Amino acid sequence: MSLQWYPGHMNKARRQLVEAMPLQDVVIELLDARMPAASENPDIGLLCKNRPCIKVLSKADLADPATTDAWLRYYASERAEKSAERPEGRVVAIATRSDRAAETRARIVELCKKLAFHPSGPGKTVRAIIVGIPNVGKSTLINTLMERKVAKVGDEPAVTKGQQKVELKSGIHLADNPGMMWPKIENETAALRLVLGGAIPDSAIDYESVALYGAEFFMTHHPNMLIARYKLKQLPSDPAALLQEIGRRRGGLRRGGEVDMHKAADVLIHDFRDGSLGRMSLEEPPGANEQRLSI
């Protein structure tokens, strides 16, 4: 199964990025720390045209810390490999956390000035652009860097429709390009993860199918978190039975005692999205015991 979710405004976002890229010194690409591979838009890499790229793992406070550290090591290794062949194409990764805003600001400003095509200094303006898929945290990062709210933040994909431009206290000129998907997502698992994480509207794939995927993954990799969250005596026999149990315990019963599976799916999905289930990652970097996260 492939997924196509490419509304008209994303064509506009792509055109804006193509037009803006020649003016940029640095690209700041946001990835979801819970699923860095699934949330990496392949089109962005093509459009960056070898510009220095800072990969920022957003929502790290929702991801498993050890897995995030493994991704940071992976990107550091990738940077070292690329630096030997193409110094201007270096990749650096940092993880953002809401309680480390000052550290995030300082680190990103430092990296932008260090990686810019031209030397920074008096009379030199560093221009950077923030890119990524919808609902990955671009507006939140701009607000963090500006130390005040200048960009609209929401829990739904495609909140930002037009390019925003601001100037940081450091003098860096920063643009925020609207969230952009690629036209066709061929990998079914990646598509399910993107919907589960909130990057794609819930209506793009059958809602219950997304919840069943999440239930199977959580039962396999985080059974104790499920038991604790829903006060279960033991784990149900299969994903459908888990949703049935969640529905019974969380107000999802219809008249006659039938479980509203859509309601149960909604509870599980949003408990994952807001971190109520606990800190979870949906994928590990290549070579990092992938068999443990193979669903």
Q: Do residue 158 and residue 211 come from a single domain?
A: no
181, 200 contact by CB (below 8 A): yes
Question: 153 and 198 in contact (C-beta within 8 Å)?
Answer: no
Is the same domain home to 238 and 129? no
14 and 160 both lie in a single domain:
yes
**Which has the minimum average pLDDT: 67-81, 228-242, 276-290?**
67-81
pLDDT exceeds 50 at position 188: yes
Q: Are residues 137 and 269 in the same domain?
A: no
Rg (CA), the chain: 20
107 CB neighbour count, 10 Å cutoff: 17
22 and 160 share one domain: yes
Looking up residue 82, the CATH number of its domain turns out to be 3.40.50.300
Task: Using DSSP, state whether 139 is helix, strand or coil.
Answer: helix
Residues 129 and 210 in one domain: no
CA angle centred on 190, ends 188 and 194, rounded to 5°: 115
Give the structural domain span for 224: 206-293
- On whether residue 277 sits in a domain, the answer given is yes
Q: Is the Cβ–Cβ distance between 41 and 47 less than 8 Å?
A: no
Question: Looking at the 3D structure of the chain, how many domains does it have?
Answer: 2
Q: According to the model, what pLDDT value does residue 123 have? A: 61
Q: Residue 114: what residue type?
A: K
170 — pLDDT class (breaks 50, 70, 90): confident
Q: Are 264 and 242 in contact (CB under 8 A)?
A: no
For residues 79 and 37, state if they share a domain. yes
Q: What percentage of the chain carries pLDDT values higher than 90?
A: 51
The CATH number for 211's domain is 1.10.1580.10
Q: Report the range of poorest mean pLDDT among 30-34, 146-150, 189-193, 262-266.
A: 146-150
Q: Which of 207, 190, 204, 201 is nearest to 243 (CA)?
A: 207
Say if residue 28 is in the same domain as residue 98: yes
Distances (CA, A) of 122 to 27, 129, 171, 277, 286: 22, 21, 10, 49, 42
Average pLDDT over residues 112-123: 72
Report pLDDT for 66. 94
Residue 185 lies in a domain: no
By CB neighbour count within 10 A (0-12 exposed, 13-18 middle, 19+ buried), where does 185 fall? buried
99 pLDDT band, cuts 50/70/90, is confident
